[in-house]
Chain A
Amino acid sequence: MGNENIISVNNPILSVRNLTVAYDHVPAVKDVTVDFKKNSVTAIMGPSGCGKSTLLRAFNRMHELYENIETTGTILMGDVDIMKMPTIKVRRRMGMVFQRPNPFPTMSIYDNVISGYKLNGIPLKKSDKDEIVERSLSDVALWDEVKDSLNKKGTFLSGGQQQRLCIARALAFNPEIILLDEPTSALDPIATSKIEDLVVKLKENYTIIMVTHNMSQAARISDYSLFMYLGELVEYNKTKIMFTNPKDRRTEEYLTGKFG
């Protein structure tokens, strides 16, 4: 790799090669090349407008919802280029959780968890449904809190519970990768710490890539960190190394709070 501030990892689950995303000919992500390690938590950091959300959304091609976008480069998952896969397939292999909790307001808690199957018209036996709902809600430590009110609307829960429900909804589909787009920015500190604990636990079975603007959160829970600035990937390293010994001056200035 050209940039020595960007490490390479063994056994990557997702390999991004020369990815450039432009809105109306203005690049938001510039020539990013990076590998993500399986069963780890990678934090994408950077000041507002640095392209971190665009990068994350490019992984499951949610960025294509915007108009006038141009994307070049490849994103390999195993040896398939997800840029050439149908978006529906890509998105079924990667779960996504957003800034604000967004359970489907018309659905019960139960239906929200299996909404991926329901909305895609994938038939399930009742016993399979029950099992998926219990497993997914247990994985996000929500089962005990909601097991007696599964028929209540998802929006009936508190903000933190809703966000965990949204994570459960993503897990129900058995994705390989979970993309989190600032998942705690709308939550209070207690709900935040619950989500953080959850993320650490989930990496046993999933690979997690999360955007965060909260540096201490990245330091607490991520194994790898990625620092972006003005659309460029500036530095990528193990979190411990990056936070103690940043190689690039811009990373250091960001981490020490000189800008951001």
Chain B
Amino acid sequence: MENKNILMQADHSRSRLMKEKAFLWIVVFFSVITISPIILIIWRLIQKGIHQLSFSFLSKTTPDAFEAMTAVAAGERIPGGIVNGITGTLLMVALAAIIAIPTGLISGIYLYENPGKRLANLIRNVADILQGVPSIVLGLISYLWVVRYVTQGFSALAGSVALSIMMLPMIVRSTEETLKMIPITIKEAALALGVPYHKVILRVLIPTSFSGLSTGILLGISRIIGETAPLMLTALGSTAINWDITKPTSAIPLLVWEFYNNPYMVDMIWTSSLLLMIIVLSFNLMSKQIGTKRK
């Protein structure tokens, strides 16, 4: 009787081991499927884009169609680079961040401090809806507001406004969520020392949640860097370096789109995309790094 029992147990555990192994392989299989696109993308971009990557690619403006055509016909490397796109992206993303970060932080703090209030619920819902608005629609709105009435023409400012609206809800929600994670006792400690309310927020809550807040901001930035659609209707593009926010401006994703439309510049798509990818990835990694430091 006892022997039989032991045998049964052994059988049982063998089939259980098999199941466990099978399950492990299924998990590994699907995990590989999940991560393979990113690896394939990066590999492909490096493979096709690396030969165009050079100092002039990062320091010269886009070539005109004729230059590109002659180079392609002669079988040479396409001259010029995308520095107008790099500076344009820098300008517009910086301006969008200047608009969105203070607004988002303040709204997020308001949501955290007044969780049950009507206005807070309204802001929270609007932020959620805003997050779902297609980016091309935001471009259209910015076109109506800024391009037509403020700068009276395509401009970096119009692009930044569209991008800042995209970024805003992310910052609002991440600020609220980050602040919620601070134990209430820290706030009480400051208030019990007679610290005025605004200083509790500025000098205790914000420093305490600094890493969380910057994670949210960096993710927001990496989200808007690659946006193309809203910029087509607002910043339009430019073949020269432009630092004037009231003038049309280029951006890396806009250039990718322009290169796609020009059969002689197709080769430059890959290098531009590779660069864009590197920038976005490094922002993502930076935010991850800051996020793990906190723990």
Interface positions of A (Cβ within 8 A of B): 60, 62, 65, 67, 87-92, 95-96, 98-100, 102-106, 115-116, 118-121, 166, 169-170, 173
Contacts and interface: CB of A to CB of B under 8 A. Distances in A.
Given A102-B186, A104-B186, A105-B208, A96 B192 contact: yes
Contact of B190 (A87, A104, A121): A104
Nearest to A112: B189
Interface in B190-214: 190-196, 199-200, 203-204, 207-208, 210
A91 B193 contact: yes
Contact of A116 (B185, B193, B207, B210): B193
Contacts of A91: 191-194
Nearest to B192: A96
Contacts, number: 73
B37 interface: no
A119 B190 contact: yes
B192 A95 contact: yes
Contact of B194 (A88, A99, A104, A105): A88
B178 to A, nearest CB: 14
Q: Is the interface of B mostly helix, strand, loop or mixed?
A: helix
Given A91-B193, A116-B195, 14 more contacts: A91-B194, A95-B193, A96-B192, A98-B189, A100-B185, A102-B186, A102-B188, A102-B189, A104-B186, A106-B207, A106-B210, A118-B203, A170-B192, A173-B193
27 contacts: A60-B192, A87-B194, A88-B195, A92-B193, A95-B192, A96-B192, A98-B188, A100-B183, A102-B183, A102-B185, A102-B186, A103-B189, A104-B189, A105-B208, A106-B207, A115-B190, A116-B193, A116-B194, A118-B203, A119-B190, A119-B195, A119-B199, A119-B203, A120-B199, A121-B199, A169-B189, A170-B193
Given A102-B183, A105-B208, A106-B207, A120 B191 contact: no
B208 A104 contact: yes
Q: Which of B183, B203, B207 has the most CB of A within 10 A?
A: B203
Nearest to B117: A67
A105 B189 contact: no
B204 A119 contact: yes
Contacts of B194: 87-92, 116, 120, 173
Nearest to A118: B203
Contacts of B116: 67
B193 A169 contact: yes
B193 to A, nearest CB: 4
Nearest to B193: A116
Contacts of A99: 185
A215 B193 CA distance: 29
A206 to B, nearest CB: 15
A128 B183 CA distance: 31
B192 A62 contact: yes
A98 B191 CA distance: 12
Contacts of A62: 188, 191-192
Contacts of B208: 104-106
A223 B116 CA distance: 43
A169 B210 CA distance: 23
A100 B185 CA distance: 8
Q: Which of B116, B195, B196, B199 has the most CB of A within 10 A?
A: B195
